[in-house]
């Protein structure tokens, strides 16, 4: 307690510098907390939207690596140009058996799909669409399309053999409404008439303008692929198992299985790089604040050289002298960390409360702020570490002062 009282006395004697140094630490902690809350909030919001928009695991009708061609097995040292491999009929073979084998161990829901490109025509206008053939009841278990419906019901695809569900933006571009009949034409020039039984709005422009759902059988007829599917969508009860499930499914079925993390690997890496940059900036801010602490403690050491000599003459060991000045740095760091935490919470709360009006394509009214105790802990620990180092360097100098030289120099 004696050492702490001495340290606090030194700090109070230089109140103006103490306040400036404390403010420097507080600003560093406050802005770092607000920045971390905003960045993690935006990352979590984007990830949640992404996970809702795509399957946790998707099994595709392709192999991870191209199949070895017969010519390659015969001529090891020959390079081929213009050799075209035999094209097999794409599709997942025996989909019923594949689904049954997955249901034995996969903890989640599954749905089979057939996707292809088609042109949607209405009233003389054409739009290129990605057409997805689905089993409506099962599709509702693997995606949030049911929640995105604005008009009609997705389940109506079950009762309407030529039913079609499209995005509201696509309907707006065509001038089509619920109940209208449109024409879909496949890449093989096969045309079929469909009735719009539902409009959805996902908030993702590419889907709202270019994605359509229809009954699986109807799409198989339109694309001339009877009894064929080209993907299996899986929605897991535990999303953390996505990579493990994808790897096992790929080994079991022989088809490429992609988890949502692998499908968005580039984005995950971008988030990691962004977080590294963020904490580097935060660290730099707190290091700069540490220079203020270093300056005030160094000044105190210089001004209190005679007092240090007296303390050492009274028998204070070097360790105690050093602790006094380290404590001074830590006290400033603690005060700054507490004030900065309050500032960070206030900034985060303010940002979360501000309303924004974006264009219709962006469905966001508030900034996504994520409040986490970890942000405050990391910022405060960095502040205390910076403060401790800033106080330790001049403290070593103080502990090594020779009291005889100081007293002689003062006389």
What percent of the chain is modeled with pLDDT above 90? 37
- pLDDT top residue among 83 and 350: 350
Residues 119 and 225 in one domain: yes
Residues 290 and 358 in one domain: yes
- Residue 66 located in a structural domain: no
Report how far Cα 273 is from the mean position of its chain's Cα atoms. 11
Identify which of 169-173, 266-270, 274-278 has the greatest average pLDDT: 169-173
Residues 153 and 291 in one domain: no
| Count of C-beta atoms within a 10 Å radius of residue 71 | 11
Residues 311 and 180 in one domain: no
Closest CA to 105 of 14, 266, 296, 234: 234
Residues 217 and 364 in one domain: no
Average pLDDT over residues 122-149: 93
Residues 130 and 246 in one domain: yes
pLDDT exceeds cutoff 50 at 411: no
Give every CB contact of residue 161 below 8 A, 6+ residues apart in sequence: 215, 217, 218
Residue tagged 């709360």 (tokens): 349
Residues 246 and 310 in one domain: no
Contact present, 157 and 134 (Cβ < 8 Å) = yes
Which string of DSSP letters, residue by residue, matches 59-104?
A: EESS-SSPPPPHHHHH-TT---SS-----PPPS-SSHHHHHHHHHT
Contact present, 2 and 314 (Cβ < 8 Å) = no
Closest CA to 197 of 235, 238, 170, 165: 165
Residues 111 and 142 in one domain: yes
Contact present, 382 and 282 (Cβ < 8 Å) = yes
| Count of C-beta atoms within a 10 Å radius of residue 249 | 25
E strands within 19-56?
Answer: none
- Half-sphere exposure in the Cβ direction for 242 (13 Å, CA): 18
- pLDDT top residue among 160 and 282: 160
Domain count, the chain: 2
Residues 235 and 274 in one domain: no
pLDDT tens digits, residue range 40-65? Answer: 888 888 888 777 778 999 999 887 66
Domain boundary residue among 231, 255, 279?
255
Domain boundary residue among 229, 255, 281?
255
Report how far Cα 235 is from the mean position of its chain's Cα atoms. 19
- Residue 60 located in a structural domain: no
Residues 381 and 360 in one domain: yes
pLDDT-based confidence at residue 405 (cuts at 50, 70, 90): low
Q: Is 68 exposed, middle or buried (0-12, 13-18, 19+ CB in 10 A)?
A: exposed
pLDDT-based confidence at residue 1 (cuts at 50, 70, 90): low
> Containing domain of residue 315, as a range?
2-51+267-410
Average pLDDT over residues 209-213: 95
- Residue 337 located in a structural domain: yes
């Amino acid at each position: 307690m004696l050492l702490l009282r001495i340290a606090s006395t030194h700090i109070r004697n230089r109140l103006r510098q103490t306040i400036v140094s404390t403010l420097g630490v507080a600003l560093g902690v406050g802005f770092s907390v607000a920045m971390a809350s905003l960045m993690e909030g935006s990352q979590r919001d984007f990830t949640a939207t992404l996970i809702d928009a795509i399957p946790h695991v998707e099994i595709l009708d392709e192999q991870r690596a191209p199949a070895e061609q017969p010519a390659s097995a015969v001529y090891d040292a020959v390079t081929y140009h213009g050799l075209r491999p035999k094209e097999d009929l794409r599709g997942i073979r025996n989909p019923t058996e594949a689904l049954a084998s997955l249901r034995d161990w996969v903890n989640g829901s599954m749905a089979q799909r057939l996707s292809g490109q088609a042109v949607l025509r209405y009233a003389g206008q054409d739009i290129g669409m990605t057409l997805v053939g689905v089993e409506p009841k099962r599709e509702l278990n693997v995606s949030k399309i049911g929640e995105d419906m604005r008009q009609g019901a997705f389940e109506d695809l079950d009762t309407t053999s030529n039913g079609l569900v499209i995005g509201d933006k696509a309907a707006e571009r065509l001038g089509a409404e619920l109940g209208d009949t449109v024409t879909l034409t496949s890449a093989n020039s096969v045309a079929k008439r469909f009735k719009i039984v539902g409009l959805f709005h996902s908030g993702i422009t590419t889907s709202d303008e270019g994605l359509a759902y229809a009954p699986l059988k109807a799409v198989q007829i339109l694309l001339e692929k009877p009894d064929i599917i080209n993907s299996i969508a899986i929605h897991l009860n535990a999303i953390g198992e996505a990579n493990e499930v994808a790897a096992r499914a790929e080994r079991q079925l022989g088809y490429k299985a992609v988890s949502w993390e692998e499908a968005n690997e580039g984005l995950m890496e971008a988030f990691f790089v962004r977080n590294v940059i963020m904490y580097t900036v935060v660290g730099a801010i707190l290091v700069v604040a540490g220079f203020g602490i270093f300056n005030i403690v160094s000044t105190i050491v210089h001004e209190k050289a005679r007092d240090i000599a007296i303390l050492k003459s009274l028998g204070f060991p070097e360790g105690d002298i050093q602790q006094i000045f380290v404590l001074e740095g830590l006290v400033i760091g603690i005060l700054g960390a507490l004030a900065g935490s309050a500032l960070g919470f206030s900034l985060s709360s303010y940002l979360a409360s501000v309303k924004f009006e974006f264009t219709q394509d962006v469905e966001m009214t508030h900034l996504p702020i994520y409040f986490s105790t970890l942000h405050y802990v990391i910022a405060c620990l960095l502040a205390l570490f910076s403060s401790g180092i800033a106080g330790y360097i001049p403290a070593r100098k103080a502990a090594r002062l020779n009291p005889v030289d100081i007293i002689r120099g003062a006389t």
